[in-house]
Structure 1
């Protein structure tokens, strides 16, 4: 199947999160308009901080949006793993993941700012809210998509960026089910003095004891700190109900700054932590999976958002290089899957008091 000219390609992206929005921007940068279909009726500020790594940031440069990311993020040169009593166990430079020896850093950004930057690049009439996928039919050289609101579309290429519980994945590629990690993540963004004293500079810190990891990620450009408590729990419900008072009790053996920060939080986003096992195939001739739909992973290596954005960048590159959509999708999976398979595996290893490195991916990906 030969490739239509970019301006004539009909492309639908299912899912308006980081991966889906980044894909629409990546495709726009090569002259392809993508329509974005998001099940939510509005885009809300959710989530917490994330460290954008240089391979990801370099795509922002390629897409012409680096200045906006730079304004809404802070550069971090170090990460620390810290014992519950405050003893620093490991302090490390961010690993080198590109060929540029100057790029041993991360840019700390709020997830909501990332999505806003992406969506601001797109034509407003290409963003369709309130579109929950009901059924997708793969006809070989095009796909048909039906939404619960009664609307139907056809597209030459459909990108399933619809998350860990992807309908695109389950209907077309794999019946693999999300796997509960045995932990919950309680996330908040705070502005209290005690949190700032924990991270006076731009060093990301992970406080650990035998059953918990507390990620304290400075967002000084927003005058905020991202506070993420990951703790063991037998409750596998997707959105566990946990009160702020209960969380205060869960962190009572950590340093005063952690306890005082927890005391100031009025509301957390509470989620059970799930991932999926690696799946064999991400694509057909006209449909491909991306981000969590393809390779949902735990958050311990900080690679979920990075991987989704890099998927988007590689997909756009493959569409430029290949002579047909099927060829481009084969190329896309061959380049991305070995990387994300390894990150999926590594992300299941949470930092502990015995941790010898802040970056378990270092021995696999750092440039020598």
Structure 2
């Protein structure tokens, strides 16, 4: 394919100031595209969560801006050991993480707010527009007009919906209603905490079928914990105190240091959420509007690919917009590449989420840790340079 001298769009509105939206803005601006981020929140507040970034996501970020990956490695924790435990505290299995050796990038854990902070700092502050809740958009052959609360509008060449699983852009574009509840509730928290049973550069999963709890070093003395259990309905617990009380009731019998960590976590920062996803789409793009990240392919968090696939999305979209002969061709390349790959990852995430809560979950998790080479090779050998060559 012929490489054009300039991108096929000049001005882009990215709806959503999460990590996918920010990374995409960086990627687009590196290509000379005037990308702006519009976020409904009044400020970019710290979120009490941690996450893991896999080799494929780090490779995509490195292709966007190598300095960002170096900052993330300094701020987070390069995980070296995965430990599987019973509810009693008995260790089932310890597995050394060898992703750096096999795939050229590590398994990196980090605070969500620190990741957001690093990405936001790579952008001119004036292009991040807070307190902009998107309510609709209209498009014609030449442009898209985005409407925000308070009758604010912006006219652009392309809109990217990066506004999460309950995306307003997706509803206007696709109209597929509410996300689907997967029968599991989750709780998460983040705190500075040390304990003799918590090792640096380690993630521990404790099994108490039909419950699991994860403890993960995310750097700088912080521990991220995430608890999940099967629930028939997705009703919340009520006040912050009620949420913490429910957690202690459900997970207080787990071995140390789980009860101590929950007890030490400020009730106000504990996040309670149902686990949701959506059916895969056959198309993300219509006219001058497309989707990205959780707005396009929300998935169960079971294999930790939400952030990494969003970074892949952002990198590839920037490449196609910079090098395709026209916008229609760029979005066709984007859909053609991203939909097939993310459908496979969604399917594997869904399977892992279901199997982790069945009666033989311990055996399943052990086998997964021992032998998952074919899927991991396909997933983690993601090659940004090969992606870029598709537009040649």
Fold conserved (TM > 0.5)? yes
Partner in structure 2 of residue 327 of structure 1: 329
Q: Is the deviation greater in 38-47 or in 139-148?
A: 139-148
Partner in structure 2 of residue 364 of structure 1: 375
Partner in structure 1 of residue 72 of structure 2: 69
Partner in structure 2 of residue 55 of structure 1: 56
Partner in structure 1 of residue 227 of structure 2: 229
Partner in structure 2 of residue 281 of structure 1: 283
Confirm whether residue 123 of structure 1 aligns to residue 132 of structure 2: no
In 2: Cα distance, 1:313 partner to 1:171 partner: 24
Q: Is the deviation greater in 244-253 or in 162-171?
A: 244-253
In 2: Cα distance, 1:170 partner to 1:239 partner: 28
Partner in structure 2 of residue 148 of structure 1: 149
Tell me if structure 1 keeps the 8 A contact 2:57–2:307. no
Confirm whether residue 215 of structure 1 aligns to residue 219 of structure 2: no
In 1: Cα distance, 2:293 partner to 2:179 partner: 14
| TM-score, structure 2 as length reference | 0.85
Confirm whether residue 80 of structure 1 aligns to residue 83 of structure 2: yes
Residue aligned with 1:353, SS: helix
Tell me the C-alpha RMSD between the 2 structures.
Answer: 2.4
Q: Where does the alignment leave 5 or more consecutive residues of structure 2 unmatched?
A: 382-392
Q: Is the deviation greater in 171-180 or in 285-294?
A: 171-180
Partner in structure 1 of residue 247 of structure 2: 247
Tell me if structure 2 keeps the 8 A contact 1:300–1:347. yes
In 2: Cα distance, 1:152 partner to 1:231 partner: 43
In 1: Cα distance, 2:23 partner to 2:371 partner: 26
Structure 1 residues 264 and 175, CA gap change in structure 2 (3 angstroms): same
Tell me if structure 1 keeps the 8 A contact 2:59–2:105. no
In 2: Cα distance, 1:132 partner to 1:109 partner: 28
Structure 1 residues 234 and 17, CA gap change in structure 2 (3 angstroms): same
For residue 164 of structure 1, report the CA deviation from its aligned partner.
0.5
Query: Deviation string for 1:19-69 (max 9, x for gaps)?
Result: 111110111222222110001111110141111112221233331322211
Aligned pairs for 1:1-368 within 5 A: 5-6=6-7, 9-62=10-63, 63-64=65-66, 65-94=68-97, 101=102, 103=104, 105-194=106-195, 197-219=196-218, 221-237=219-235, 241=239, 242-267=242-267, 268-348=270-350, 349-350=352-353, 351=356, 352-355=361-364, 356-358=367-369, 362-366=373-377
Q: Which protein is richer in helix relative to its size?
A: 2
Structure 1 residues 68 and 128, CA gap change in structure 2 (3 angstroms): same
Residue aligned with 1:193, SS: coil
Tell me if structure 1 keeps the 8 A contact 2:214–2:226. yes
| TM-score, structure 1 as length reference | 0.91
For residue 343 of structure 1, report the CA deviation from its aligned partner.
1.6
Query: Deviation string for 1:209-265 (max 9, x for gaps)?
Result: 21111111102x321100111122234247865431221121133212112212212
Q: Is the deviation greater in 332-341 or in 37-46?
A: 332-341
For residue 331 of structure 1, report the CA deviation from its aligned partner.
0.8
Tell me if structure 2 keeps the 8 A contact 1:173–1:283. no
Structure 1 residues 263 and 239, CA gap change in structure 2 (3 angstroms): closer
Give the number of aligned pairs.
362
Q: Where does the alignment leave 5 or more consecutive residues of structure 1 unmatched?
A: none
Structure 1 residues 19 and 104, CA gap change in structure 2 (3 angstroms): closer
